[in-house]
Amino acid sequence: MERGKPGGVVLAKVSTQELQNPIEMLQTRFKELENGFKMWLSKQSLPVEAVVVTATSAFQGAAIGAAMGTLTNDASSPFPTPPEASLNPQAMASLKQAQALSGGPLVQARNFAVMTGVNAGISCVLKRLRGKEDVQSSMAAAFGSGAMFSLVSGMGGPNQAANAVTSGLFFALVQGGIYQFGQRFSQPPSEDIHYAKTRHMLHNLGLQSYEKNFKRGLLTDNTLPLLTDSALRDVKIPPGPRLLILDHIQREADLKGKRVGRN
């Protein structure tokens, strides 16, 4: 605000950047809320974190499934059951698979909610128990989501247990292949070897976009035990991400031990 002489008109100066980048402002605000939620969630007990992660992921999956079911609603009209199918178990199994995969909005919302919710819940529990994310955890979560999807959707023949195991194994193998493929093509270049732990930490916290800030300030893996709020502020990392990073380092056993040893 800018005030003139007494009795004058009060003029308001609006930032040109605010007028030009409303989307960027919304993205920044959303990122701050997301980081705050992650920080709150990381301080909860394992059961609370698992329930919250499962519920939110299931809700997101349901929304995606409902949208897909709406788009394919015409193709997912009730399948006519041929007379011979009632006498052929294999034909009936194939018909059930088609109905499960091409149902309407409610069916797809249910299927996607189960897949995403179970996958996220298992991943959350394993990450908390094992302290890391790897291909084994990814495949275990995929197996659980595939098995539950098979049971809920009614895919396969009359032997639901066998079909659940088969679907789970299929999901696990696909997820494992995707994970390994992604890891192969996302290996850091040799010149970034000093930021391996930093990159892993930022990835776990969902703060990958701040890797460039660490590099700009030459905050390598060796400096992680020495990081302070002022050091992170100097490389222009906002308050929310700074709190998440410092809390993560404090909770990390190795880094915490090094820090204590230096005192």
Residue with tokens 């919710």: 117
pLDDT score of 131: 75
Stretch 151-161: mean pLDDT, rounded? 73
pLDDT score of 237: 94
User: 244 is written with which tokens?
Assistant: 């998440």
Average pLDDT across the chain, whole number: 77
pLDDT score of 189: 52
pLDDT score of 121: 92
* DSSP for residue 5: S
pLDDT score of 18: 46
Stretch 222-226: mean pLDDT, rounded? 88
* Model confidence at 148: pLDDT above 60: yes
pLDDT score of 262: 42
pLDDT band at residue 236 using 50, 70 and 90 as cut-offs: very high
Taking alpha carbons only, the member of 217, 218, 222 closest to residue 233 is 217
Q: Under a CB-based contact definition with an 8 Å cutoff, are residues 214 and 188 in contact?
A: no
Taking alpha carbons only, the member of 96, 97, 78 closest to residue 86 is 96
Q: State how far the alpha carbon of 71 is from the alpha carbons of 98, 116, 144, 149, 261, in Å.
A: 16, 20, 27, 21, 60
Stretch 245-256: mean pLDDT, rounded? 79
Q: Which residue has the higher pLDDT, 63 or 68?
A: 63
Taking alpha carbons only, the member of 17, 28, 18 closest to residue 209 is 28
Q: Which residue has the higher pLDDT, 78 or 224?
A: 224
Q: Which residue has the higher pLDDT, 42 or 215?
A: 215
Tens digits of residue pLDDT in 18-31: 445 678 777 778 88
CA atoms within 13 A on the CB side of 161: 0
Residue type, 168: G
* Model confidence at 249: pLDDT above 50: yes
Tens digits of residue pLDDT in 115-126: 899 999 999 898
Taking alpha carbons only, the member of 177, 155, 179 closest to residue 167 is 155
User: 126 is written with which tokens?
Assistant: 């394993």
Map out the domains of the chain with their CATH numbers: 23-185 (no CATH), 192-262 (1.10.150)
Tens digits of residue pLDDT in 82-140: 554 444 555 445 545 545 555 678 888 888 899 899 999 999 898 888 877 888 888 99
Q: Is 173 exposed, middle or buried (0-12, 13-18, 19+ CB in 10 A)?
A: middle
Q: Under a CB-based contact definition with an 8 Å cutoff, are residues 192 and 236 in contact?
A: no
pLDDT band at residue 245 using 50, 70 and 90 as cut-offs: very high
Global confidence as pTM = 0.54
Helix residue ranges, H only, 78-228: 89-101, 105-130, 135-153, 160-185, 196-205, 211-216
Between CA 171 and CA 45 the distance in angstroms is 29
C-beta atoms surrounding 125 within 10 Å: 19
Taking alpha carbons only, the member of 152, 138, 143, 56 closest to residue 106 is 152
pLDDT score of 119: 93
Between CA 84 and CA 94 the distance in angstroms is 13
Tens digits of residue pLDDT in 170-207: 999 998 888 888 777 765 555 567 888 888 889 889 89
